[in-house]
Amino acid sequence: MNDQALPPIAGREAEILALVMQDLPVFLAQTNLDLEQIQSTFACALHMHQPTIPAGADGQLISHLQYMVEHPGEGDNHNAEPFSQCYKRLADIIPQLISEGCNPRIMLDYSGNLLWGFEQMGRHDILDALRRLACDPALQPHVEWLGTFWSHAVAPSTPIPDLKLQILAWQQHFAALFGPQALQRVKGFSPPEMHLPNHPDTLYEFVKALRECGYRWLLVQEHSVENLDGSPLGQEQKCIPNQLVARNSRGQTATITALIKTQGSDTKLVGQMQPYYEALGLGRQVLGERTIPAIISQIADGENGGVMMNEFPPAFSQAHQRIAREGGGRTGTVAINGTEYLELLDAAGVPSADYPQIQAVQQHRLWQQVGNPVNPEAVEAAIADLKVNDPQFSMAGASWTNNLSWVEGYANILEPMYQLSARFHQVFDPLVAEDPAVTGTEPYLRALLQLLLLETSCFRYWGQGTWTDYASELHRRGVEAIG
């Protein structure tokens, strides 16, 4: 096991943070959109992920995509190559649409697991396609990459000290693959499973970590947030930017701009370009003392299911061809990317202070119960009281698949995960404080890799069995690596 190459997920923290904290415009100098000419917009993102599992030769860590290739007779594993084509096909679709006079837009969210899997498999065809999407100046106005957690962890049940480790691991890996300038352009964040923490301390640390790592905005699921008075977001409010307010149990506050992902996780929404057709029925929205174009934001798995594998490419192309015919891709209803939209608003003099303030769902009830003074003891007592009086009350966060839990029934994974995290920080934090270069050493990298992998959501998605066994093995290796 010790001779397996490690992904570049640590060792360049100071360099990366200095890079991403340069708050320069990304799209403003090259966008060909004029807000005054636009009635409505839609922003589509594709989420791509395959977990890393200890299922290779001699138990080596491999991508689940590689496992699919090697075991084609199991389940849907025959889709390994169709999935692989999905991972790279935008590098063909976007240039083709541009050559036809269209003005396409797409946002891409690839987990670090998946990127590492391409490297492990030697899939240079996929990596070269992604490099073009990340680095080709001709494609930069049309393609936006979104950051995420490296190993597809779900934020509410990830140990708080590891939130920033997950964020930084992805940034370092992305920069190693596609270069520092490509990373500088990554300003939006896509949380795995659209899972937003609603415990005050977890949400605060999550938002604080995002801001400290240079992110300007976050994609959130509509029912994972509420207004400050506890009311759900109105239909018009979902079509404009909002300001997510995270207040912790000590009264500290962190904020970040949020774009609202509407509706559920059904891949048919993006696969059949529903966001475009929804945006067609919308006009400009009132924000403060002016109007701005509405925005419909959507994300879906980019490879999962027949609709995304087969129907998305023609539907995507047909929508952009229609937009080109009806307004040249620049008037009426148009495609846009998240950072591009927000930068255009800022340049037009629309301050983020005008965005409606929102918070994570259930927090209004919590703060009402807490009263004054606000302190950790009062918050935990209020949570306990609310849970006793209302079994539906939860501080486990909300995601796009609320019929599933990443907590209930998984104590055999969560408890070892939290223990491993605590041990990791107990051992390494003092060493890093004394010498930051420790994060680039093999012992640190090997231990960090096991910890991040154990936090992958997939091990708490498929129920007890093979997947929880994978988690147990990763935990064992993590304990061994930390010593």
What does the pLDDT look like over 24-81, one tens digit per residue?
A: 999 999 999 999 999 999 999 999 999 999 999 999 999 999 999 999 999 889 999 9
Of 141, 140, 89, residue with least CA distance to 317: 89
Of 355, 362, 347, residue with least CA distance to 288: 355
CA distance 279 to 276: 5
What does the pLDDT look like over 414-449, one tens digit per residue?
A: 889 999 999 999 999 999 999 999 999 999 999 999
Query: What pLDDT does 414 receive?
Result: 87
Continuous segment of H or E residues that includes residue 219: strand 217-221
Query: What pLDDT does 304 receive?
Result: 85
What does the pLDDT look like over 11-29, one tens digit per residue?
A: 999 999 999 999 899 999 9
Overall size of the chain counted in residues? 483
Q: Which two tokens stand for residue 324?
A: 């080109």
What does the pLDDT look like over 151-176, one tens digit per residue?
A: 999 999 899 999 999 999 999 999 99
Listed in order, strand segments (DSSP E) in 23-142 are: 38-48, 52-53, 62-63, 106-110
Continuous segment of H or E residues that includes residue 256: strand 253-261
Confirm if 453 and 418 have CB atoms less than 8 A apart.
no
Burial of 231 (0-12, 13-18, 19+ CB in 10 A): exposed
Of 119, 21, 140, residue with least CA distance to 62: 119
CA distance 228 to 283: 26
Distance of alpha carbon 49 from the chain centroid:
11
Q: Which two tokens stand for residue 250?
A: 């000590």
Residue 349, Cβ neighbours under 10 Å: how many? 8
Query: What pLDDT does 462 receive?
Result: 67
Within 306-410, residue ranges assigned H as helices are: 306, 312-327, 338-347, 363-370, 376-389
What does the pLDDT look like over 95-154, one tens digit per residue?
A: 999 999 999 999 999 999 999 999 999 999 999 999 999 999 999 999 999 999 999 999
| φ, ψ at 380 (rounded to 5°) | -65, -35
CA distance 453 to 52: 7
- Judged by DSSP in three states, 189 sits in strand
CA distance 177 to 172: 9
CA distance 246 to 228: 11
Could you say which DSSP state residue 218 is in?
A: E
What does the pLDDT look like over 282-304, one tens digit per residue?
A: 999 999 889 999 999 999 999 98
Q: Which residue's structure tokens are 């891409």? A: 108
pTM for the structure as a whole:
0.95
Helix-helix angle 411-434:466-482, to 10 degrees: 30
Could you say which DSSP state residue 371 is in?
A: -
Query: What pLDDT does 463 receive?
Result: 67
CA 266, 267, 273: angle at the middle one, nearest 5? 115
The average confidence (pLDDT) of the chain is: 93
Query: What pLDDT does 406 receive?
Result: 44
Q: Which residue's structure tokens are 């009264």? A: 251
Q: How far apart are the first and last CA of the chain?
A: 16
